[in-house]
Structure 1
C-alpha cells in the first residue's frame, strides 16, 4: 500500500515539476504574484541561462521521479530547486508559500524512502 501511495505522490509531483519546467519555456500559465516577486522573476528570465537550466532540470527530474528505478536520483536532482522555490515564496511571495512546503515535504519523503540508495555516496 505504501508503495502505491508513494508512486501516486511521485507521479503528481513529477507532473507538477514537468509542468513548471515547460511553463518556463512556453509561458502558458500566467504567474499571479506581487510586484517584487515578478521583478525577481524578470531578473531570472533576463539572465536566460539560469531560468532555462532550472526549467530543464525540472523537466528531466520530473520525468525521472515518476520512474521508480530513477526516483532516488531525481529526488536529489530536484532538491536544490525545491529549496529555492520554498525560499522564493518565504521571502518574495508568502501568499503562495503552502504549496512550496508541500513540495518540500514530498521531496524529503521520497529521499527518505530511498535512503539506502544514498549510503554508498556517503560511506567510506
Structure 2
C-alpha cells in the first residue's frame, strides 16, 4: 500500500505541475469549447474569478506532492479544487472527465491514507 501511495502522489503531482505550468507558460493553445461549458467559462471570466490563483494553488500542491513535503496540507487545500474540477466536468463536459476523476479519486485516496492526521480536525 505504501508503494501505491507513492505512485498516486507522484502522478497527482505531475498532473498538477503539468497543468499549471502549461497554463502559466501558455504552452498549448486554448482548446475550443462550446455549449454550456463556454457559457460557464465566460461567466467565470465576467465575475473576475481568479484563474491565476487556482493555477497557483495547483502549482504549489503539485510541488508538495512531488517533493513529499506538506502532503497532508496539500490534500486539504486541493480537495475543493478537485471537487470543483470533477463537478464541472460531470455536469458540463462528461467526455473529458478522466483527468479530473483521477485527481479527485487520488485526493480522496491520499486523505484516506493519511486519515490519522486529520482526526483532530474533525473533533467537536
1:15-49 Cα deviation digits (max 9, x unpaired):
11122222332332333543432343344345555
User: What TM-score do the two structures reach when normalised by structure 1?
Assistant: 0.83
Residue 77 (structure 2) aligns with: 77
Contact map agreement 1:13 1:62 (CA 8 A) in 2? yes
Residue 93 (structure 1) aligns with: 93
Where does the alignment leave 5 or more consecutive residues of structure 2 unmatched? none
User: What TM-score do the two structures reach when normalised by structure 2?
Assistant: 0.83
1:22-61 paired onto structure 2 within 5 Å: 22-29=21-28, 30-31=30-31, 33-45=33-45, 47=47, 50-61=50-61
Residue 104 (structure 1) aligns with: 104
3-state SS in 1 of match to 2:97: helix
1:69-118 Cα deviation digits (max 9, x unpaired):
42111111111000000111012111112332222111100000001111
3-state SS in 2 of match to 1:31: coil
Where does the alignment leave 5 or more consecutive residues of structure 1 unmatched? none
2:100 and 2:87 mapped to 1: Cα distance? 9
Residue 6 (structure 2) aligns with: 7
2:49 and 2:58 mapped to 1: Cα distance? 14
RMSD: 2.1
Residue 16 (structure 1) aligns with: 15
